[in-house]
């Protein structure tokens, strides 16, 4: 049996797992990323259906780990305004980056573009990655054991990896989480997210739009071409199936009507797919020698597009904790040294889950009185500038306790200093 000794093994090479690896680049820690399949580097003319609305905090993280230039070199779309309204109602609320003296409110980026840019950042120093980062792919985990001295991960091809810390970055159906027997609280929203790329008769003008329909919220997210949008439509399962399987003409007609024809006739380009919506919250984000990040720890309703932002903040917070522990000469895999990360990120995830559930409940139901109250509330909120600024600052990742990598450039020096100090002590 071939044995490899590392400090950190990250199971999962998606956006969050690669984000963590990139954040640990050039440290004294030996890091291994285990991933089953890398994304195809060739982007098509039609956008991928899976996109993310990156907050300013996420943009800072990606810039600081060296991935943002790779995103800009491919394709992205900033949005400087956001419009939210309810169908057949007078209620609406609008947000504008100019009111916060910001260039934009965020960026819409395909998930694959983010992954490719992170891979590029990690592999910038060679085909196998930075001197301290190794990417193992295609590879799949077979078994996991942990004890006081470390963890042992066995792969299907017979390789054995000994690590001080195992990071579960393997998504909502996390294999690592199941192996660790970590209980999961979950509830089915009873909805599916229908995702597709559409071409609109009118240009999107760099505005992100969301309408609350009787079926569920429908978001139009602007893409890099002025008439292209990515849609995310929360629908009852049966309705989502119906709209996924009907012909293009029927789908275009129903989508345009549901969106109040705000951008004229919308025509679908490429495939449609529907993703079941389930909220998940792991009871523990950390165990001895094991820690969860991203969807392995929590999943939320896509209502406000905060899922990937929450995951990237997990990665930045964990990197900060690992580097601080290592610089202090502490064992990075001890549960006692992971508690701070766990408390921090569990509270943030719980707060976001509660906020999404509250919004979902607020805008569900077609009771005329409830709809009237919603309309009055939205219209009143639109007139309250301080309230609007607070809401949008939170969505942009400018509020709350942020990891150093998510803050402006000057705040990152401390984290980099810790990494260099740790490297010097090890040498």
- List, for residues 222-236, the tens digit of each pLDDT value: 999 999 999 999 999
**Closest C-alpha among 252, 255, 253, 256 to residue 235:** 255
Q: Determine what percent of the chain is predicted with pLDDT higher than 70.
A: 84
Q: What is the pLDDT of residue 302?
A: 77
Q: What is the mean pLDDT of the chain?
A: 88
Q: How far is CA 77 from CA 52, 117, 364, 407, in A?
A: 11, 15, 30, 22
Q: What is the pLDDT of residue 362?
A: 60
What is the rounded average pLDDT of the residues 133-138? Answer: 95
Q: What is the pLDDT of residue 189?
A: 87
Q: How far apart are CA 49 and CA 349, in angstroms?
A: 25
Q: What burial letters (b/e) apply to 168-203, b meaning 16+ CB within 10 Å?
A: bbbbbebbbbebbebebeeeebebbbbbbbbbbeee
What is the rounded average pLDDT of the residues 132-152? Answer: 94
Residue 305 above 90 pLDDT? Answer: no
HEC string of the chain equals: CCEEEEEEEEECCCHHHHHHHHHCCCCCCCEEEECCCCCCCCCCCCCCCCEEEECHHHHHHHHHCCCHHHHHHHCCEEECEEEEEECCCCCEEEEEHHHHCCCCCEEEEEHHHHHHHHHHHHHCCCCCCCCCEEEECCCCEEEEEEECCEEEEEECCCCEEEEEEEEECCCCCCHHHHHCCCCEEEEEEEEEEEEEEEEECCCCCCEEEEEECCCCEEEEEECCCCCEEEEEEEEEHHHHHHHHHCCHHHHHHHHHHHCCCCCCCEEEEEEEEEEEEEEEEECCCEECCEEECHHHCEECCHHHCCHHHHHHHHHHHHHHHHHHHHHCCCCCCCHHHCHHHHHHHHHHHHHHHHHHHHHHHHCCCCCHHHHHHHHHHHHHHHHCHHHHHHHHHHHCCCCCCCCHHHCCHHHHHHHHHHHHHHHHHHC
Q: How sure is the predictor about 1, in pLDDT bands with cuts at 50, 70 and 90?
A: low
Q: Check residues 412 and 192 and name the one with the higher pLDDT.
A: 192
Q: Check residues 307 and 28 and name the one with the higher pLDDT.
A: 28
Q: How far apart are CA 51 and CA 29, in angstroms?
A: 32
Residue 427 above 80 pLDDT? Answer: no
Please report the domains of the chain, with CATH numbers, ordered by start residue. Answer: 3-76+107-187+279-364+400-426 (3.50.50.60)
Q: What is the pLDDT of residue 279?
A: 92
Residue 409 above 70 pLDDT? Answer: no
Residue 260 above 50 pLDDT? Answer: yes
pLDDT digits (tens, 9 = 90+) for 13-26: 999 999 999 999 98
| pTM for the structure as a whole | 0.90
Q: How sure is the predictor about 422, in pLDDT bands with cuts at 50, 70 and 90?
A: very low
Residue 283 CB-density burial (10 A; 0-12 exposed, 13-18 middle, 19+ buried) = exposed
What is the rounded average pLDDT of the residues 213-242? Answer: 95
């Amino acid at each position: 049996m071939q044995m490899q000794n590392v400090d950190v093994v990250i199971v999962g090479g998606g956006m969050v797992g690669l984000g963590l690896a990139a954040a640990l680049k050039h440290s004294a820690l030996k890091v291994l990323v285990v991933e089953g399949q890398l994304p195809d580097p060739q982007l098509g003319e039609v956008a991928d259906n899976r996109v993310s609305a990156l907050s300013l905090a996420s943009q800072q993280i990606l810039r600081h780990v060296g991935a943002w230039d790779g995103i800009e070199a491919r394709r992205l779309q900033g949005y400087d305004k956001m419009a939210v309204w309810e169908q057949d109602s007078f209620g609406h609320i609008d947000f504008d980056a100019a009111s916060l003296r910001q260039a934009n409110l965020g960026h819409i980026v395909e998930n694959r573009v983010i992954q490719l840019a992170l891979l590029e950042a990690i592999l910038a120093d060679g085909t196998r990655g930075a001197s301290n980062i190794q990417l193992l792919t295609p590879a799949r985990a077979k078994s996991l054991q942990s004890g006081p001295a470390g963890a042992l991960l066995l792969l299907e091809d017979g390789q054995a990896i000994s690590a001080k810390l195992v990071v579960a970055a393997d998504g909502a159906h996390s294999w690592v989480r199941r192996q660790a027997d970590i209980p999961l609280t979950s509830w089915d929203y009873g909805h599916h997210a229908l995702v597709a790329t559409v071409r609109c008769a009118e240009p999107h003008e760099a505005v992100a739009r969301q309408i609350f329909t009787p079926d569920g919220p429908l978001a139009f997210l602007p893409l890099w071409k002025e008439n292209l949008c990515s849609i995310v439509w929360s629908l009852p399962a049966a309705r989502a199936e119906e709209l996924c399987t009907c012909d293009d003409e029927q789908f275009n007609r129903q989508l345009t009507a549901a969106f109040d024809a705000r951008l004229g006739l919308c025509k679908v380009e490429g495939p449609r797919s529907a993703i079941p919506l389930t909220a998940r919250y792991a009871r523990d984000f950390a165990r001895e020698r094991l820690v969860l990040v991203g969807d392995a720890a929590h999943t939320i309703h896509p209502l406000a597009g905060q899922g990937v932002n929450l995951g990237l903040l997990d990665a930045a917070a964990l990197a900060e904790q690992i580097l601080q522990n290592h610089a202090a000469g502490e064992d990075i895999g001890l549960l006692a040294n992971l508690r701070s990360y766990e408390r921090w990120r569990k509270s943030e995830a719980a707060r976001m889950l509660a906020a999404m559930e509250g919004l979902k409940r607020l805008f569900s139901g077609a009771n005329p009185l409830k709809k009237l109250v919603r309309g009055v509330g939205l219209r009143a909120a639109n007139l309250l500038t301080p309230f609007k600024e607070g809401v949008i600052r939170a969505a942009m990742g400018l509020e709350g306790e942020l990891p150093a990598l998510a803050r402006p450039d000057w705040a990152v020096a401390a984290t980099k200093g810790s990494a260099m100090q740790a490297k010097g002590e090890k040498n």
